[in-house]
Amino acid sequence: MKPRIGVLTSGGDCPGLNAVLRGVVLAAEKLGWEVIGFRDGFEGLLPPGDHIVLDRKSIDGIMALGGTIIGTTNRGHFIAKVGAGDRAVVPGEVIARAREILNKLGIQSLIIIGGDGSMTTALQLQEAGINCIGVPKTIDNDLEATAMTFGFDSAVDVVMDALDRLHTTATSHKRVMVVEVMGRHAGWIALHGGIAGGADIILIPEIPFDYNKIAAAIKERDARGNLGSLVVVAEGARSKDGQQVKREMEGGEFRLGGIGEIVAQEIAKRTGKQTRCCILGHLQRGGAPTTLDRILGTRFGVKAVQLANEGHFGSMVSYQNYQVRHVPIADAVNRLRLVPPNGEMVQTARDVEISFGD
């Protein structure tokens, strides 16, 4: 029997996951290994073991596909996170059942493609003696241990495209268009998407805002003769005296969202201008990956197989200084990378007359 390696995709989907899977399969086949893909994240590891053999044929043409061909979930038996920073323990009995399946299938190591929560689970599997390699994934781009995650560039592209479209309707109607974007506790998607799409105001979690300052910035634009204004609001943004707007609890964490509508109402109240809110939501997670995400995903997948081949278990692929390297998963979890409020990106945005409402 050929040596076997397992792979699963866990947490929220994002463009580029299939590029990673393709990279894993082709690099593994080159070594003469067989790849077993577990369905629906860690859940596929539970008896009877929901899996498929991933070979050349199964990955043919998947590079351009969003989502993941083996499915994913951010719920289930392996949830190891209960909110930002908190760590829950995956029951030993659940890990034992997963190990039983891996042993039965003759799988020597497992590649886990996921975000911070999934890496927290990966760490627990590794600590329990299952050979794990992590591949970081999130559109939020908020993991300290890697300079970039695939999925982010595709999400930013969606925001930029939306702003391009909303710009024309904003100017035609002389309206304020408020666009709510994802990103959880980090403002990266809002900041990058906002700069690329020519936003006038960007509101991010790292810089609490003041409604009066936002209104003043819009009035100033009006006075200068600008016809419309574009406001990008990260879902995790909050006013100086307010809280993040949360929806229901799911998968061990609160879903964020709803701040866009509130910001739109407050702007209308303070400026008297017609204001509309557009929530981009899961549009940011769908569709074909950008060039950058296809390449990054491929490099991450190939690197994960190399790490398994070299026996670097317990490590996570990481992008640093334009190189794909690796770091211990233990050093990567629970470390969020947020937008530095006084950093170069924010300063650049301010220099092109973008207001942060502060």
The CB density around residue 286, as the number of other CB atoms within 10 Å, is 15
Closer residue to ligand F6P, CB minimum distance, 109 or 284: 284
Per-residue contact flags (x/-) with ligand F6P for residues 247 to 266, judged by CB under 6 A: ---x----xx----------
Determine, following the binding rule CB under 6 A, whether residue 183 of this chain makes contact with ligand F6P. Answer: yes
Q: Identify the residue whose tokens are 């053999």.
A: 53
Question: Token digits for 220?
Answer: 């100033």
| Binding positions for ligand F6P, 320-349, rule CB under 6 A | none
Instruction: Give whole-number Cα distances, 148 to 33, 119, 188, 342, in Å.
Output: 28, 16, 11, 20
Measure CA of the first residue to CA of the last residue in the chain; give whole Å. Answer: 63
**Piece of 31-39, 177-185, 269-277, 338-346 that binds ligand F6P (CB under 6 A):** 177-185
The CB density around residue 269, as the number of other CB atoms within 10 Å, is 12
Between CA 105 and CA 99 the distance in angstroms is 10
Paired residues of 318 in beta bridges: 325
Determine, following the binding rule CB under 6 A, whether residue 15 of this chain makes contact with ligand F6P. Answer: no
Question: Token digits for 252?
Answer: 């061990």
Count of residues that interact with ligand F6P, criterion CB under 6 A: 14
Q: Is 40 a catalytic residue?
A: no
Which residue, among 36, 132, 45, 41, has the nearest Cα to 96 in the 3D structure? 45
Between CA 256 and CA 285 the distance in angstroms is 15
Q: Which of 81, 184, 273, 303 binds ligand F6P (CB under 6 A)?
A: 184
Between CA 93 and CA 151 the distance in angstroms is 33
Between CA 296 and CA 72 the distance in angstroms is 20
Closer residue to ligand F6P, CB minimum distance, 95 or 162: 162
- Give the active site residue among 13, 40, 140, 200: 140
Q: Which of 7, 9, 12, 245 binds ligand F6P (CB under 6 A)?
A: 12
Phi, psi of 287 (to 5 degrees): 85, 180
Closer residue to ligand F6P, CB minimum distance, 138 or 146: 138
Determine, following the binding rule CB under 6 A, whether residue 182 of this chain makes contact with ligand F6P. Answer: yes
Determine, following the binding rule CB under 6 A, whether residue 114 of this chain makes contact with ligand F6P. Answer: no
Question: Token digits for 9?
Answer: 């995709």
Per-residue contact flags (x/-) with ligand F6P for residues 65 to 94, judged by CB under 6 A: ---------x--------------------
Cβ-closest position to ligand F6P: 182
Determine, following the binding rule CB under 6 A, whether residue 139 of this chain makes contact with ligand F6P. Answer: yes
Determine, following the binding rule CB under 6 A, whether residue 285 of this chain makes contact with ligand F6P. Answer: yes
- Active-site positions? 140
Residues in contact with ligand F6P by the rule CB under 6 A = 12, 74, 115, 138-140, 182-184, 235, 250, 255-256, 285
